[in-house]
Chain A
Amino acid sequence: MGWSIALSLAPAVIAFVTFFLVPLGVLVVTSLADWGGLGFRYIGFENFSKLFADPVFWKAARNTLLYACVGILIQLPLGVLTGILLAQRRPGWRVFRAIIFLPFVISGAAYAVIFTVFYNAEYGLLNSIVGLFGIEGRDWLYSTSTALPAVAGTFAFIVGFDALLTMAEVGSIPRELYEAAELDGASAWQRHRRITLPLLRNVIGTLVLVSLLASIALFDVAFILTAGGPDNATVTLTLYGYRAYTNGAWGYANAVGIVIVVVGLLLIVGTRRAFRIGERTW
């Protein structure tokens, strides 16, 4: 039995060691080195001091934060509202759930193509739409002031995941809580404000975390639509690290990687604490 169990665990252990543990070790060690096509030399924390002195890095960090804000301030509230509505299960809710969730399974790369066309200055739908309101169309992706909102616009309204989690959670809230409030004369708005929202703490915390992690890893849409431009207006942390990697500055790229991994893990711990994710809400 013992040997069978060991054999059974072996693939997972090998996968974990090869593709998670070893890369993590390499990441830590080489972030302290000047490592590129020409050789390998320990330089201590020089990569990090260079990194923190680079204004483009800070721009990437700022953009990453802005993308997260779009996720948390637009996508999340809209998704939670949608989920609460869907949870009422009025006629047709299944159709709406399917339609609203469907965009979630479209890849970032396909989205990039969709929005390249959607934002196109000559024949894009967006310019036709804003034209209806008398606003002059423009090249949304090529102006430093509109490029970041344009990239964020590709995911801001993809609320299916948020709605789905909310819906599942709302569905499991005990009916009695609402019945009591209704007897006390609370309006529908008050019931949701005072009962539903606090009880959604776990889900909202999870969604905040998902938004934060998604913006750190945000790559394909920004890479394909703008390659981080114009003038780094849309660059993300992952894209910034990827550039260093393609330039052959591997040690430097790995210092960026350390920042990504550490910030990611801190965000997980921090958000779980802040929202007390995992604790019962009722």
Chain B
Amino acid sequence: MVIGRALSRLTGTIGYYGVLAIVALLALGPALWVILSSFKTGTQVFSGGDLIPSPWSLKGYRDAFEQVHLHRYLLNTALYAAGGTLGSLAIALLAAYPLARFEFAGRNTMVALFSLALAIPVVGMATPEFFVMRELGLYDSQLGLIVFYSALSFPLAFVILRAFLVNVPSEVEEAALIDGAGYFTIVRRIVIPLSRPALATVAVISFVSIWNEFFFANLFTASVEHQNAQLAMASFKSLFGFNVSGMLAGATLVMLVPMLVFLLLQRQVIAGLTAGSTK
């Protein structure tokens, strides 16, 4: 009896870690293999063989920077992700605060419309978005992509921030209002510091999704110097030719940033995804 229970607990433990290990391997295996292979030379990759490179080589990384100038693409990506994140946070917070706090005509309609924007599959509107961008003089420009990403990311940020603010008591703001503080002073001095946890969460989610964005970057850029790193991945065949190790190093660098962001800011990512999807 005792042995039987110990045995079933043991198989339970083996099953538990066994399943998790298999899932982890299936999920991360291919990416891990690519990261390891990025430290091989082309010849080592072609010859197959060991998973662990021996000797380790940085040739792929040198090629990615020297031949393909990947740092330029990465800088663009960082610029778009940072700019788009700041833009969407500003737009979303400035709308979320009044729509969470004040009663006025049209308030509910506005909340409904901004939330609807989150539901529209924007990829279906590719052609109209292209013409809007062109008419505004935003086509193939860095500012254009920042503006577009700010607009694209604002509905999710809005929904999360408003839900957060609705649940926060408003006494401090009311006291400040009585003391004669203006609206934007209250936003700056009270609402922004108050919303810091929600802002951090939304910022991380926006940053990673803009960093990874491909479809509209492809649609809105023509010149190489405005392309992001995802586009460099798409044209890896022409960019890297048969330089497999350069290509693998490039892919590793492109995924490194969101991976680091996630590992360092796990709490925010997890909170953001859980909050965003149940809304």
What residues of chain A have their CB less than 8 Å away from a CB belonging to chain B?
A: 1-2, 4-5, 8-9, 11-13, 15-16, 18-20, 22-24, 26-27, 30, 78, 81-82, 85-86, 88, 90, 92, 96, 98-103, 105-118, 122-123, 125, 128, 157-161, 163-165, 168, 188, 202, 206, 210, 213, 216-217, 219-220, 223-224, 238, 241-242, 245, 250, 253-254, 256-261, 264-265, 268
9 residue pairs, one from A and one from B, having the closest CB atoms: A260-B124, A4-B183, A107-B212, A12-B95, A23-B128, A264-B121, A109-B233, A26-B128, A157-B26
What residues of chain B have their CB less than 8 Å away from a CB belonging to chain A?
A: 12-13, 16-17, 19-20, 23-24, 26-28, 30-31, 33-34, 37, 45-48, 90-92, 94-95, 97-99, 102, 104, 110, 113-114, 117, 119-132, 136, 148, 150-152, 154, 158, 182-184, 187, 208, 211-215, 229-231, 233-234, 236, 244, 247-248, 250-251, 254-255, 258-259, 261-263, 266, 269-270, 273-274, 277-278
In the complex, are the beta carbons of A112 and B17 less than 8 A apart? no
In the complex, are the beta carbons of B277 and A165 less than 8 A apart? yes
In the complex, are the beta carbons of B274 and A85 less than 8 A apart? no
Of B20, B269, B270, the contact of A96 (CB 8 Å cutoff): B20
In the complex, are the beta carbons of B23 and A157 less than 8 A apart? yes
* Nearest CB on A from B233, distance (A): 4
Of A15, A219, A268, the contact of B215 (CB 8 Å cutoff): A219
In the complex, are the beta carbons of A16 and B16 less than 8 A apart? no
Of A1, A12, A157, A265, the contact of B119 (CB 8 Å cutoff): A265
Contacts of A161 in B (CB 8 A): 273
* Nearest CB on A from B149, distance (A): 10
- In whole angstroms, how far apart are the Cα atoms of A22 and B127 in the complex? 12
17 contacts between A and B (CB under 8 A): A5-B104, A12-B91, A12-B158, A15-B151, A90-B17, A100-B24, A107-B214, A109-B229, A110-B233, A165-B277, A202-B278, A219-B214, A220-B215, A238-B215, A253-B127, A258-B124, A261-B124
In the complex, are the beta carbons of B259 and A164 less than 8 A apart? no
In the complex, the chain A residue whose C-beta lies closest to that of B217 is A109
In the complex, are the beta carbons of B117 and A20 less than 8 A apart? yes
- In whole angstroms, how far apart are the Cα atoms of A268 and B107 in the complex? 23
* Nearest CB on B from A218, distance (A): 9
- In whole angstroms, how far apart are the Cα atoms of A12 and B236 in the complex? 37
In the complex, the chain B residue whose C-beta lies closest to that of A242 is B126
Contacts of A30 in B (CB 8 A): 127-128
In the complex, the chain A residue whose C-beta lies closest to that of B274 is A168
Contacts of A8 in B (CB 8 A): 94-95, 97-98, 183-184, 187
Listed residue (A5, A158, A159) with the most chain B CB atoms within 10 angstroms of its CB: A5
Of A15, A92, A106, the contact of B259 (CB 8 Å cutoff): A106
Of B23, B121, B158, B278, the contact of A82 (CB 8 Å cutoff): B23
* Nearest CB on B from A72, distance (A): 16
- In whole angstroms, how far apart are the Cα atoms of A246 and B233 in the complex? 20
Answer whether A110 and B46 are a contact pair too, CB < 8 Å, given A18-B151, A125-B33: no
In the complex, are the beta carbons of B230 and A241 less than 8 A apart? no
- In whole angstroms, how far apart are the Cα atoms of A117 and B152 in the complex? 32
In the complex, are the beta carbons of B255 and A18 less than 8 A apart? no
In the complex, are the beta carbons of A257 and B124 less than 8 A apart? yes
Contacts of A26 in B (CB 8 A): 125, 127-128, 131-132
In the complex, the chain B residue whose C-beta lies closest to that of A216 is B121
In the complex, are the beta carbons of A106 and B91 less than 8 A apart? no
* Nearest CB on A from B231, distance (A): 8
In the complex, are the beta carbons of A257 and B254 less than 8 A apart? no
In the complex, are the beta carbons of A12 and B114 less than 8 A apart? yes
Given contacts A16-B117, A103-B28, A213-B121, 12 further A-B contacts (CB under 8 A): A11-B94, A18-B151, A88-B16, A102-B31, A102-B263, A105-B261, A113-B233, A160-B27, A168-B274, A254-B128, A260-B121, A265-B119
Contacts of B16 in A (CB 8 A): 85, 88, 90
* Nearest CB on A from B222, distance (A): 13
In the complex, are the beta carbons of A106 and B258 less than 8 A apart? yes
Contacts of A254 in B (CB 8 A): 127-128
Contacts of A15 in B (CB 8 A): 91, 150-151, 154
Contacts of B26 in A (CB 8 A): 157
Answer whether A220 and B234 are a contact pair too, CB < 8 Å, given A19-B132, A125-B33, A164-B273: yes
Answer whether A114 and B150 are a contact pair too, CB < 8 Å, given A23-B132, A27-B124: no
In the complex, are the beta carbons of A103 and B98 less than 8 A apart? no
Of A13, A20, A107, the contact of B230 (CB 8 Å cutoff): A107
In the complex, are the beta carbons of B28 and A9 less than 8 A apart? no
Contacts of B151 in A (CB 8 A): 15-16, 18-20
